[in-house]
Amino acid sequence: MIQSILLVALGGAAGSVARFLVVGGVGRVVPGWPLGTLAVNVAGSLAIGVLYVLLTQRVQIAPLLVAGFLGGFTTFSAFSLDTLKLWEGGQAMQAALYVAASVILSLAAVALGAALARSIPA
């Protein structure tokens, strides 16, 4: 278990740095539009799709790459994979509800969090 935790931590650090570099670099291409975040989310989703298929036989390295690197790079890839698993499992309605609930509840949560933070006296 400790080895898996260390692999996740190492991969997470590398993924976070990669995200920082991509968002900082690509994000400057179109000022005022979150192109860097979009690029990270799409690249992370592509990568987790590939790893989901290729790592089914190599479970030892999955913590480093999936939970670690991609978790630090983007959690959107995990959301995308969960949705794909529901869809491929024949649960199209649950997949659609999961997507809708994730987007709506996350947007509501970020708005609530910002409102709460703004209400705290400086």
Binding-site entries? 71, 74
Q: Which residues are annotated as a binding site for Na(+)?
A: 71, 74
Nearest to 60 by CA among 10, 11, 2, 4: 4
Distance (Å, whole) CA 49 – CA 79 = 11
User: In this structure, how many other beta carbons lie within 10 angstroms of the beta carbon of residue 67?
Assistant: 19
CA dihedral angle for residue 35, residue 37, residue 42, residue 45, rounded to 10 degrees: 180
Identify the DSSP state of 70.
Answer: I
